[in-house]
Amino acid sequence: MIRLEKRPSPSRLWTVVTPVLAVLATMIVGGLMFWAMGKDPFETIRTIFWDPLFHETFGPYSRPQLLVKAGPLILIAIGLSLGFRAGIWNIGAEGQYIMGAIVGAGVGLAFYPSESILIFPAMVIAGAFGGWAWAMIPGLLKVKFGTNEILVSLMLVYVAESWLASMAQGLLRNPDGMGFPGSRNLARDFPAASNLELISGTGMHWGVVAAFIAVIFAYVLLSRHMLGFQVRLTGEAPRAARFSGVKPARLILFCLGTSGALAGLAGLFEVAGPAGQVSIDFGSGYGFTAIIVAFLGRLHPVGILLAGLLMALTYIGGELAQLMLGLPGAAIQLFQGMLLFFLLAMDVLSNYRIRLTKPEAA
């Protein structure tokens, strides 16, 4: 008989090993699924995990694209992880991402076609502000009225999406766009506001740089700074935290504000670079995927960095598998879903010990 025995504290070893196990389990079960669909499982897994990095035709293009795809995921996930560690659940990063893009792009477009070098920095600040302000709504409501930040932040995603549709068709619509929705293309038609590759062929744009900086800052904050200690303490032992003088309201506003600002930044860098324009379909789910990335990375800055890259790999590899092997898009989504499923399932191993015992006599 198998019995689960709760560990006094999560096993350090298993915390590191379970993500790797989850990836392996996803490969095995996913491979079985591909096999059942009549595809060669080894070729499919290789196409997803290997070809984006090392394929001679696709590799040189896909490797930089990994950074482009992972950048916003990491940036958002880092912000979310601070709150998640303290037990503050910002589920609405997607909305903050969208609002950051709208506010940031709006500031840029207001000065079209200026060539001032101050425009892009102003947009960055506006983008962060947009995300921060949107996250302050659930923050203030929680602090003042005790509302649930999970619900409020999630619902605000849908409000943000409506704002996005309205902006794309109204205020920010391209005057030269023949009446079609969508703003001017910042990346293609507005050099002063564009967030292009810093070094050609590397995929490195300001958003990726910001993501790396965020990883370092979060690491230092959590391991060296008083505020980071308070964040961890509040999550692990809320009562002890209160005795040690942590002010919950300030912590809530700090965590939500920071994650909102980082999500807003991610939106701004995306709208000024890879996406190019404020369009109805701009919200591409990064804000939700980042939640998976945060947990896949164990809420640890370095883990999130790796998890973001892994997630990006499954996206780009999944696209390649669709293209090269004719795999349906839904199969790739299923495959990504499995990854989260196995990760959560494997969590049992870090929180519990598995004991094999003989059935007790009645």
Partner 1 sequence: MKSLKPILAGAVLALGLTGPAMAADPVKVGFIYVGPVGDGGWTYEHNQGRLAVEEHFGDAVETVFQESVPEGADAERAITQMALSGADLIFTTSFGYMDATLAAAEKFPDVKFEHATGFKMGDNVSVYSARFYEGRAVQGTIAGHMTQSNIVGYIASFPIPEVIRGINSAYIHAKRVNPDVEFKIIWAYTWFDPAKEADAATALIDQGADVILQHTDSTAPQAAAQSAGNVITFGQASDMSDYGPMPRVSSIIDNWGPYYIARTQAVIDGTWASVNTWDGIGAGMVGIGDISDAVPADVRAEAEALRDALGSGEYHAFTGPINKQDGSVWLADGETADDGTLAGMGFYIEGITDDIPN
Taking the complex as a whole, how short is the minimal distance between the CB of residue 135 and partner 1, in angstroms? 23
| C-alpha span between 78 and 222 (Å, rounded) | 11
The residues that touch partner 1, with contacts defined as CB under 8 A, are: 57-58, 61-62, 65, 68, 165-166, 169-170, 173, 178-182, 185, 188, 270, 274-277, 279-282, 284, 316, 319-320, 322-324, 326, 328-330
Residues with Cβ < 8 Å from 193, sequence gap 6 or more?
A: 105, 108, 109, 111, 112, 119, 120, 123, 186, 272
The least CB distance from residue 165 to partner 1, in Å, is 6
Residues paired with residue 356 on neighbouring β-strands, in sequence order:
2
84 touches 294 (CB < 8 A): yes
In whole angstroms, how close is the CB of 178 to partner 1 at the nearest point? Answer: 4
Q: Which is closer to partner 1, CB of 147 or CB of 322?
A: 322
Distance CA 316, CA 60 (A): 13
Between residues 38 and 170, which has the closer beta carbon with respect to partner 1? Answer: 170
Residue where the block lists tokens 């990375």: 297
Nearer to partner 1, 100 or 257 (CB): 100
Q: What angle do CA 170, 171, 174 make, to 5 degrees?
A: 80
- The residue (of 285 and 359) whose beta carbon lies closer to partner 1 is 285
Output 146 or 285, the one with its CB closest to partner 1: 285
Tell the smallest beta-carbon distance from residue 182 to partner 1 (Å).
8
CB of 57: closest distance to partner 1 in angstroms? 5
The crossing angle, in degrees rounded to 10, of helices 286-296 and 248-272 is: 120
**How near is the Cβ of 270 to partner 1 at its closest, in Å?**
6
Measured between alpha carbons, how far is 178 from 203 in angstroms, rounded to an integer?
A: 32
**Closer of 3 and 188 to partner 1 (Cβ):** 188
Query: Which CB, 203 or 303, lies closer to partner 1?
Result: 203
Shortest Å, Cβ 68 to partner 1: 8
Between CA 306 and CA 57 the distance in angstroms is 25
In order, the DSSP letters of 108-154 are HHHTTT---TTHHHHHHHHHHHHHHHHHHHHHHHHHHH---HHHHHH
Distance CA 215, CA 225 (A): 15
Contact 268, 99 (CB under 8 A): no
Q: Compare residues 166 and 351 and give the one whose CB is closer to partner 1.
A: 166
CB of 59 to partner 1, least distance (A): 10
- Structural tokens at position 94: 């997607």
